[in-house]
Every structure is written in C-alpha cells, then in structure tokens.
Amino acid sequence: MAEIRVPSDYWTTRLLPQGCVDAWLVDNGAKVKSGQPLVKISIEDAMHEVLAPCDGTLRILYRDDAVFDPGAVIGVVADSAS
C-alpha cells in the first residue's frame, strides 16, 4: 500500500497553514496507474496535481472540499494483492 501524501514543499510561505482538496480526478475504488493524475489541490492560491505513486486501487481518505495540513495522507493506492 502506498500513501498519497501532500508534499510539505507545496507551501512556500506558510502564511496559510492548510490546503484544500479541489477535485478528485479518479473515483474511489478505481484502478490507477503509476504517474496518473489523481487529485487537484489548492495551497496558498496555487493549484497542484498529485500523481499516483504506483499501480493499484485508489482509496480516498479526504473528500472534495476537505481541508488538510502539510504532509497529510489524503488517500492510498493498494496493490491488487492488498
């Protein structure tokens, strides 16, 4: 199982201590491929896409419009054996 973690370096100023999930690009439970864009997030007025860390099945932990802190695990990708 691989975590989908929001990189702490997405925060450049630390003025806004939290980010927000704008939209998942893949449905919960869907099969994904390594490097596939999974979710759009906004941090400090900048948009970022977070990519799948590996092939497997997506499990979303933070839904659309959820607020998260730097380094948060917003989802996981489980391989087919998990």
pLDDT single digits (tens) 26-40:
999 999 999 999 999
Distance between CA 30 and CA 4 in Å, rounded?
A: 15
CATH code of the domain in which 16 resides = 2.40.50.100
- Number of domains within the chain: 1
Kind and range of the H or E run holding 45:
none
| Stated pTM of the model | 0.87
Note the pLDDT of residue 14. 65
pLDDT surpassing 90 at residue 3: yes
Confidence bin at 73 (pLDDT 50/70/90):
very high
Q: State the pLDDT at residue 44.
A: 83
* Full residue range of the structural domain in which residue 12 is found: 2-78
Averaged pLDDT, 8-22? 82
